Structure 1
Amino acid sequence: MAYEIPVTQARAELAELINRVVYGGERVVVTRHGKPLVALVSAADLERLEGEREAAEEQVVRSVSSLGSSSPAPAARGRFGLTAEHRAPGDRHA
C-alpha cells in the first residue's frame, strides 16, 4: 500500500518524501482533490516495472508471431461469404 499525500503538502515535504521512498522503500502517491496525480517510486522500482512491461510486450509479440498467417480453405471462404483475403507481400499462391 502506498502512502498518499496531497500535492500542497508534498511540495513542503519533498526532501522527506524522497528519503521515505529511497531509504524506507515506500511508494508515495501525490493526490490533488483526493485523486491520484503522480507516484514517487525508487529508481530500482521504476527499472523493475519497466522491465516487466518490456517482458510483457515481448510475450505478446512472440504469441502473435507464433500464430502465423493462415487462410481459410476455399470451401470455407465460399461458405462464410469471404470475398478477399490478406496475403503477405510476395505471396503469389492462389
Structure 2
Amino acid sequence: MAYEIPVTQARAELADLINRVVYGGERVVVTRHGRPLVALVSAADLEKLEAGEAEEVQEQVVRSISSLGSVASAPGERRRFGIAAEHRGEHDHEG
C-alpha cells in the first residue's frame, strides 16, 4: 500500500520519505490538491520495473496507486487542513 502525502509536506520531510522508501520498503505518492503527482519507489523497484522482470512489482505499484482513495492521510494532514482532509470522498477523485 502507498503512503500519500501532500507536496508541501513532502518538501519538508524529504529525508524521512527517502528513508521510508529505501529502508521501510514503502511507496510514497506525493499529491497536489488530493491528486497523485509523483510516486517515490526504491531504486531496486525502479530497476525491476524498467527491466520488465517483475510483473508482480508492477502490479503492486499499480494497486498501491489505485488504492489511494482508501489510504489514511499523512500524519499531521488532518490537523493542518482540518475537516476537509478527513472527508475527501470518491467523487473528489473523479476526473
What TM-score comes out, normalization by structure 1 length?
Answer: 0.55
Pair 1:35-2:42 in alignment: no
Q: What are the ranges of 5 or more consecutive residues in structure 1 without an aligned counterpart?
A: 56-94
Which stretches of structure 1, 4 residues or more, deviate above 6 A after TM superposition?
none
Q: What are the ranges of 5 or more consecutive residues in structure 2 without an aligned counterpart?
A: 56-95
Report the identity percentage.
87
Whose radius of gyration is greater, 1 or 2? 1
Deviation at 1:6, TM superposition (A): 0.2
Q: CA RMSD in A?
A: 1.6
Separation in structure 1 between the aligned mates of residue 42 and residue 29 of structure 2, nearest angstrom? 12
Letter in 1 for 2:24: G
Separation in structure 1 between the aligned mates of residue 13 and residue 37 of structure 2, nearest angstrom? 16
Letter in 2 for 1:21: V
Pair 1:15-2:11 in alignment: no
Separation in structure 2 between the aligned mates of residue 2 and residue 44 of structure 1, nearest angstrom? 16
Point out which structure has higher relative CO (alpha carbons under 8 A, 6+ apart).
2
What TM-score comes out, normalization by structure 2 length?
Answer: 0.54
Deviation at 1:52, TM superposition (A): 1.0
Letter in 2 for 1:24: G
